[in-house]
Chains A and B, each alone.
Chain A
Amino acid sequence: RKEVEQDPGPFNVPEGATVAFNCTYSNSASQSFFWYRQDCRKEPKLLMSVYSSGNEDGRFTAQLNRASQYISLLIRDSKLSDSATYLCVVNSNPSNTGKLIFGQGTTLQVKP
């Protein structure tokens, strides 16, 4: 089983739609979680961290479910510019603080 798993998609949605991605992780001791965004032929960039209580940044909401070992990203009122690959990132070993593991990514295409 992979340490971090995501549905690769693609998710094709119309502008204005709400879309949600899930990501599961295997190490129950993981402590840090993030969502990164990667545009085609570009480097990944931090979208948002994921906090235990859940957090929101504009149209983006991230949630953590420790019991089921998954994190989610909700995008409301999607824009054409949201088209990208969204990468789930987990610190897989809390005693090894630098070891961030990336999921395969979920591709989102927002259509006019």
Chain B
Amino acid sequence: DAEITQSPRHKITETGRQVTLACHQTWNHNNMFWYRQDLGHGLRLIHYSYGVQDTNKGEVSDGYSVSRSNTEDLPLTLESAASSQTSVYFCASSGTGTGGTEQYFGPGTRLTVT
């Protein structure tokens, strides 16, 4: 069955370190998204991609970057981790079409920045 996976599931890092969170989907979806979820803020979009070599900033992109070198993967990099980036991170993917296509979510990565 197709799926979307994230790794690691839990990560503790120190302030100032570079961190990369992996996202891999086997849906063959063109669209991929990264969100963070914090209490009181719901889901906030960090970056998204509509295909290989395409990346776009979301509403909370400062301090984060992504790259899309193939269809399956969209890694999220925190250039210099800050305590404010302690959060749960979700990756999602969706297909393309004229109708509203639902997003499928990964299980999440809980990141703690100390």
Asked if A and B bind, the verdict is: no
